[in-house]
Amino acid sequence: MDNVLLEIKHLSKVYEGKGVNVKALSDVSLTVERGETIGIVGESGCGKTTLGRCVVRGIDATSGEVLFHTDEGVIDFLKIKGAQMKKYRKDIQMIFQDPYASLDPRMTVFDIISEPLRYNTNLSNREIELAVEKIAEQVGLNKAYLRRYPHAFSGGQRQRIGIARSLILQPKLIVCDEAVSALDVSIQAQIINLLEDLQKEYNLTYLFISHALSVVRHISDRVMVMYLGRVVEFGKTEELFAEPRHPYTKALLSAVPQPDPDILVDRIILEGEVPNPANPPSGCHFHPRCAYATERCSKEAPPLEEQDGRLVACWNCEACRNKE
């Protein structure tokens, strides 16, 4: 068996509205290896959440494939049905951003965590009970509180419940959609460490979607930067953060306020706003805000090309690198 777990190929999603079609995701490809964490960053409207939801089949992608490497060969996760669906559905799970909206307030914590087991396995009640207790202990939930309802818990504890639910089917891949963004700083660290510990223990693979760059840098092995539905840069975390190549990545990284008054980054303040995804700029979507934009940028969209181990979509990479 190769080390590849998932191949996302040319994934696109178009939201059809009244008169306007919003291309939330256009032609995104990505190969994910077993046990790694891929960070997906970008600002609102960049398509990172859509990407995550398409991969877990929370929403239906418009086109493209999500090839899932199993023991029985490669299957397209987006097309499986029936028995195959029952068998592999559990392998790709998700942790949600909002620990309040993602737990059904009418169910006890035990019912929430055990629900996936009831749909996907034929375990007896006793076995389910043991499994839930085991997972609860692992994510740091007090067993004694399992019969309580979610409203008894704080944000961080709720996120632990969500993690327990996504973990109980022993998935291969977990999509973490802004999993720590809604949490307070001190709780955020608890959850990040928990995710890292669980990854080691179960050899989990994460798609870590977040707008918090420092968190993504901490947790990811490789990072993908998205802008208005397209990938603009993709590379190893250390390298990408040390030396961003796409002008957007540069601006994004420099905009992060550092918790140290002495670090005075030479801020690149971007002009303007993220354009409306329903009506994106022509050519390279970033060109109206880009300091290096040339005429070509407004006409042709740059392809995502490899430059010594890094994927970048920019016509003027060399130019903007030389400028430094």
8-67 residues near other proteins, rule: CB under 8 A: 43-44, 53, 56-58
State the residue for tokens 């540069």. Answer: 250
Number of residues this chain uses to bind other proteins (CB under 8 A): 76
Scan residues 184-243 and list those touching other proteins (CB under 8 A): 184-190, 192-193, 196, 211, 213-215, 217-219, 237-238, 241
Q: How far is CA 41 from CA 8, 71, 130, 269, in A?
A: 17, 31, 37, 18
Give the range of 64-72, 258-266, 277-285, 312-320 binding other proteins by CB under 8 A: 258-266
**Residue 27 vs 70, nearer CB to other proteins:** 70
Retrieve residue 206's tokens.
């994460």
**Residue 131 vs 270, nearer CB to other proteins:** 270
Q: How far is the CB of 282 from other proteins (least distance, A)?
A: 20
Give the range of 86-94, 126-134, 201-209, 294-302 binding other proteins by CB under 8 A: 86-94
Burial of 129 (0-12, 13-18, 19+ CB in 10 A): middle
DSSP 111-173: HHHHHHHHHH----HHHHHHHHHHHHHHTT--GGGTTS-GGGS-HHHHHHHHHHHHHTT--SE
Question: Considering only residues 260, 266, 308, 324, which one is a binding residue for other proteins as defined by CB under 8 A?
Answer: 260
Residue whose C-alpha is closest to residue 140's, from 126, 160, 162: 160
**Residue 145 vs 202, nearer CB to other proteins:** 145
**Residue 101 vs 130, nearer CB to other proteins:** 101
Q: How far is the CB of 2 from other proteins (least distance, A)?
A: 26
Residue whose C-alpha is closest to residue 211's, from 65, 52, 36, 103: 52
